[in-house]
Structure 1
Amino acid sequence: MNTSIFSRFQTRSHGGITLRASAFAAILCAALHAHAAQDIYFNENTSVSSPNRYLNESSNWYTDAGRTQQFEGTLSSDYNGIINTESKISASCASELSLNSLTYNIAAAKDYNNYFASLADNASITLAEDFNVNITFTPETGWNIQTIRMFHNGRITVGGDFNLTFDKNGSGSNGFLEFVIRNDSASAALTNRFQVAGDFNYTAVESGSRLRFVTGIGQFFVGGAMDIGNILWTINNPSSSEGANISLGGLTGTSGMISLGTGMASTMTFTNSAQREAKTTIGYTGDETTLNVTMRASDAKNGYQILRISSGAYGATDANLGDVIIDTGRLDLGMHSGMKGNYLSIAGVDGVFSATASDSGNIGAATFENGEWYAGKIAIDIEGELAYDKIVFNGRFEKTGSDRDMGFEFAFDAYTMRELISAGRGEFILEDVITYETGSSMAGTVFEGNTSGIQWEAVFGDTSLSVSFTVPEPAAVAAVLGAISLAFAALRRGKRA
């Protein structure tokens, strides 16, 4: 007997097209719709000690918005958790909680909330989709702090996006929202993690509603892009002896502000799979500290971060960068004139580093104390005789890899370059593209190439890189083309054999 689901439907044809597939598709669509996540609603709890505060207890959830029908199922990714409250909520997680999504709606926030969400030792919140936070002030609300705190080995894992929407609701210049994700003071330093697979999105209902966002945990990861265009982001260390590990799939926004807490340098790793661009200030408010930057794209070909750092950190002293590591993908780094980095390491064969402008444009300078080149490429933009990228090392620039794994990319307008070459009587030379201290092991290294029909030679001298550009003679061009033709001919013969 045929037990296939198709056998339940009569086979009919119209113009030779069987209609069984349509019937099956309708059933499949209905089945998927039937299994869409169901909304459930949490207690409006304001006590930090009541059993009603536990998010992981199914008895604290209801199936209706009025909270009259007790939820009797098992908390899982089949449910969207919704927390509606007038002014304040105290919510805790003592074990493992799994939901499809989690949404906080605070209709008239006016009180500090140090237990917006609290995770006990080894507790976790896992969401298949988004984590949404919607906060509306009263017209009288001033500075308001909402805090997610974690004790030991806490985990918040978001499968979708983190979306925070803030409505000042007429509170004017006095209304400030500070959203905090931090270790509890009793927590071990690096064991807590906040991880978002998608994007980190902040939406201000009223213009001028800059979010004050504070992280003070060991691990803060965003797989997608984080837009800090309307955010003052304070990166506090999880302890006085350890910096935070921050991983972003890209940083975006044109008016960001980053402030560093006192202590060891934190590390920001870019895991981009696409091109992202951000302009921000970076400062410190206590003892001097720095920010380490690592480019480690998840897509080596398309992962690209443009990071422009301008001066004038808000309420802080302009900070320097620590170590900058280029592993995979491309990093264009724009540093203001008073900024420097500690160490530049161009380390990966799929990595590209370039200096860029700190404000806008392609031409800029990047300064470091020391550096090394193991593998990868350095990209140099050239727009004129005095307009080109520069990389400055106050100390040494060391060669730690093989020439075959290194290379240059020169970007210029071919017509302009030919004019510069003509003005220089057949040669255009840049003397100080990269400068460094005498004794650097890069000295003596030579690279050659051809870009847009322009021949170039890059020679590392005693203290600087000199690059000469020429237009090949017709005979030389013919020789090159002939060599290419011979290579293709040999390849074709090899295939026929």
Structure 2
Amino acid sequence: MRSNIKKIVFGAMCAGALSCAVFAQEGQFTDLYYNQDLNTTGWSADRYMQNPAVWNVGSQDGPLFDGEVNSASNNLYLVSQDPLTSDQSVLFGYDSYNWNVHDIVIDLDNGVNYRILHLVPNQKLQISGDFDITLKSLARWWMPENRIALDENVSITVDGNLNVANSTAKAEVDEGNVGQNGVKFVVSSENYMPSSFEVKGNVAFKSEDTYSYWSDNILFSLGVTSFKVGGYVDMTETRAGTFTWDLCKTANDNYFSDISVGGLEGGSALQISSAHSATVNLTFANSSAHSYSGTLASRAGSDNKLNVTMDASDAQNGRQTLIIKEGGAVEGDAAMNPSRLDSVTVLNGTLNLGAYNGLVNGDLYERQARNIVRLYR
């Protein structure tokens, strides 16, 4: 078992090599480890996550599981024992369209683009605990994509927190000549059909505190119609210029994405990399005070729009400081230019908007007199 995997309390384990089922008792959970080769296609009934035979109990070399995988008493671990070298997918399968598990822990060493979790059309996933993702890049001078793929009418709900970590360390980069560009974490719809992802707790991004070149970079990319965070999104960087949140990346024209967060913390880069005309509606539903400072950019030649709304769930205490600095340009085939806000609206709470001249392209207004927009440059 990898040493950096989070320890979780689990129920009684079976002795010996016999197949067994472990039933959760009050306050206890069963840790199940996926035992299939992640470099082999996941599109096979005997490899689907719904199959008890693809899980070991307690560790990667523990006894086989023979109970019900689809249970809120189970913690599911997807851990790469060998580096990922083949572009594949991991799927639950088709036996159930409603999944409910406790924690999901994904820990991968990846040198290719990979669907770390793929939900088929109309499938719903409820994670009653946390969703922890640790990624290490083994790619040479490029950023591998680690993707949660959502088919049409799919939803994921996390009752706890979503934690994403880049575990690429300087020593490994220098010794192996890999991982120089960091990692990419993507949540997107297949064919950009309607889908949703909700985290009721917080979303946090972290990198190793050592780096070589850009190995500590994290690019968080969305391509869903609805993304909601009940808590706040923490993009506090280990060092400046390492985290980027791509609010919308699609190949579709006239794509709309609604993003609601209970606050945005830290400093990094915001961007919309859709090549055509995506509209992102970003709502701050804060119940407490949060502060963010970074740049804003959009795909060169596109007609992308970002509308910001402050609609605090607690009008008295909900405050968001949003400082958009000049900059954010990216050169290359998918060039990014500094962008502007299309509109800013305050319904409830306080929005402190730090803006440079020309940042707001369209409307800037308040709906109610008691709400405050503070502009400063």
TM-score computed with the length of structure 2 as normaliser? 0.79
Is 1:318 paired with 2:338? yes
Distance in 2 between the 1:256 and 1:298 partners? Answer: 26
Q: 1:199 Cα deviation (Å)?
A: 1.0
- Asked whether 1:220 is paired with 2:227, we answer yes
1:152 alignment partner AA: E
Q: Is residue 2:71 matched to residue 1:76?
A: yes
* Superposed counterparts of 1:413-452, under 5 Å: none
Report the alpha carbon displacement of residue 68 of structure 1 after superposing the two structures with TM: 5.1
CA shift digits 1:399-425 (9 cap, x unpaired): xxxxxxxxxxxxxxxxxxxxxxxxxxx
Partner SS, residue 171 of structure 1: helix
SS at match of 2:75: strand
Amino acid corresponding to residue 333 of structure 1 in structure 2: L
Residue 267 (1) aligns with residue 281 (2): yes
Matches within 5 A, 1:311-390: 311-315=326-330, 316-348=336-368, 350-356=370-376, 364=377
User: In structure 2, do the counterparts of structure 1 residues 254 and 69 end up closer, same or farther at CA, with 3 Å as the change threshold?
Assistant: same
Paired position in structure 1 for 2:83: 87
Shift of 1:234: 1.4
Counterpart check, 1:252 vs 2:265: yes
Q: Which of 1 and 2 has greater Rg?
A: 1
**Aligned to 1:62, which of 56, 60, 71?**
56
Which SS does the other structure have where 2:105 is aligned? strand
Distance in 2 of aligned mates of 1:61 and 1:275: 43
**CA separation in 2, counterparts of 1:317 and 1:244?**
20
Aligned position for 1:456: none
In 1, Cα distance between equivalents of 2:199 and 2:363: 30
Structure 2 counterpart SS, 1:143: coil
Correspondent of 2:33 among 41, 50, 60: 41
* Aligned equivalent of 1:194: 197
Query: 2:312 aligned with 1:297, yes or no?
Result: yes
CA contact (8 A) 1:241 1:263 kept: yes
Q: How much identity, in percent, do the aligned residues show? A: 22
SS in 1 for 2:219: strand
Structure 2 Cα separation of the partners of residues 314 and 288 of structure 1: 16
1:200-248 deviation per Cα after TM superposition (whole angstroms, max 9, x unaligned): 1111013451201110111111111112344211122553112211111
Matched residue SS, 1:198: coil
Gapped regions of structure 2 (runs ≥ 5): 1-23, 238-242, 331-335
- Give, in whole Å, the separation in 2 of the partners of 1:133 and 1:52: 25
Are the equivalent residues in 2 in contact too, given 1:161–1:198 (CA < 8 A)? yes
CA RMSD of aligned residues (A): 2.3
How far does residue 285 in structure 1 lie from its aligned partner after superposition?
1.4
Which of the two has greater helix per residue?
Answer: 1
Q: CA deviation at 1:272?
A: 0.5
Residue in structure 2 matching 1:233, options 233, 237, 245 = 245
Q: Given residue 223 of structure 2, which amino acid in structure 1 is its aligned partner?
A: G
Match of 1:111 in 2: 112
Q: Find the counterpart in structure 2 of residue 126 from structure 1.
A: 126
Aligned counterpart, 1:243: 256
| Superposed displacement of residue 143, structure 1 | 2.4
Which has the bigger relative contact order, CA under 8 A and spacing at least 6? 2
* Residue in structure 1 matched with residue 190 of structure 2 by the alignment: 184
Secondary structure, aligned partner of 2:144: strand
The change in CA–CA distance for 1:336 and 1:145 in structure 2 (over 3 A counts) is same
Q: CA deviation at 1:317?
A: 1.1
Is the CA contact (8 Å cut-off) linking 1:55 and 1:97 kept in structure 2? no
Q: What do residues 364-394 of structure 1 show as CA deviations (whole Å, max 9, x unaligned)? A: 3xxxxxxxxxxxxxxxxxxxxxxxxxxxxxx
Equivalences for residues 380-419 of structure 1 within 5 A: none
- Is this contact kept in 1: 2:111–2:139, CA < 8 A? no
**1:90 partner amino acid:** S
The one-letter amino acid paired with 1:235 is L
1:469-488 superposed matches below 5 A = none
- Call closer, same or farther: CA 1:295–1:78 in 2, change over 3 Å: same
Cα distance in 2, alignment partners of residues 350 and 192 from structure 1: 35
Q: How far apart in 2 are the matches of 1:134 and 1:105?
A: 5
1:87 deviates by: 2.3
Distance (whole Å) between structure 1 residues aligned to residue 28 and residue 60 of structure 2: 21
Q: Which runs of 4 or more aligned residues in structure 1 lie more than 3 Å from their structure 2 counterparts after TM superposition? A: 32-35, 56-59, 137-142
Separation in structure 2 between the aligned mates of residue 65 and residue 309 of structure 1, nearest angstrom: 46
Match of 2:104 in 1: 102
Q: Per-residue deviation at 1:117? A: 1.0
Change (3 A) 1:253 1:275: same
Residue matched to 2:299: 285
User: Offset at 1:76?
Assistant: 1.3
Report the AA paired with residue 339 of structure 1.
L
**Structure 2 partner of 1:450:** none
Give the SS at the match of 2:313: coil
Distance 2:373 2:50 in 1: 47
**Counterpart for residue 423 of structure 1:** none
Q: Supply the AA of the counterpart residue of 1:157.
A: T
> Is the contact made by 1:237 and 1:263 (CA closer than 8 Å) also made in structure 2?
no
Matched residue SS, 2:153? coil
Which residue is equivalent to 2:44? 50
Aligned partner of 2:165 in structure 1 is 165
Separation of aligned partners in 2, 1:265 and 1:335 = 20
Count of residue pairs the alignment pairs up: 321
Equivalent AA in structure 2 for residue 322 of structure 1:
D
* SS state at 1:91 partner: strand
